[in-house]
């Protein structure tokens, strides 16, 4: 890794449409550029869930320009930390070259919520708030290092 590049913190999930996208947005916002927050999926959905975009906008974080990416985009990049946010991604996580920090912090998948629009939105907000607490604390801890 050259001196100009920032360490990559990669958040992995199955589809890279909800949880990992929200975590990427929180990390990017909370890190103030101290590292390169990215997200990917081992089986990317190909889109960012509209309700994920909506609930993140409610807290002032814009992820509308994010895209659903395959984790293969990052296999040859200098990933420093991999954080999986679902069990399937944790099990399918490849080995990255070099010394990589790995964490597994699972969250419910709000995309699988059924019910009324209001119930689905409530679930997206609940998961967003959990992700926000965990990933803001992580970013704060990195800033203290």
What positions carry a catalytic annotation? 13, 86, 93
Nearest alpha carbon to residue 91 among 102, 80, 81: 102
Collapsed DSSP state (helix, strand, coil) of residue 40: strand
Collapsed DSSP state (helix, strand, coil) of residue 4: coil
82 neighbors 23 (Cβ within 8 angstroms): no
């Amino acid at each position: 890794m050259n001196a100009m590049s920032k360490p990559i913190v990669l958040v992995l999930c199955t589809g890279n449409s909800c949880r990992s996208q929200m975590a990427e947005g929180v990390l990017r916002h909370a890190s103030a550029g101290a590292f390169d927050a990215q997200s990917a999926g081992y089986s990317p959905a190909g889109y960012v869930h509209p309700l994920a975009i909506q609930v993140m906008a409610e807290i002032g974080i814009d992820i509308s320009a994010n895209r659903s990416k395959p984790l293969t985009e990052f296999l040859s990049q200098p990933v420093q930390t991999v954080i999986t946010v679902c069990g399937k991604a944790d099990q399918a996580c490849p080995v990255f070259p070099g010394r990589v920090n790995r964490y597994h912090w699972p969250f419910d998948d709000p995309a699988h919520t059924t019910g009324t629009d209001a119930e689905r939105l409530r679930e997206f907000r609940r998961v967003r708030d959990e992700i926000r607490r965990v990933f803001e604390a992580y970013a704060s801890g990195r800033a203290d290092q």
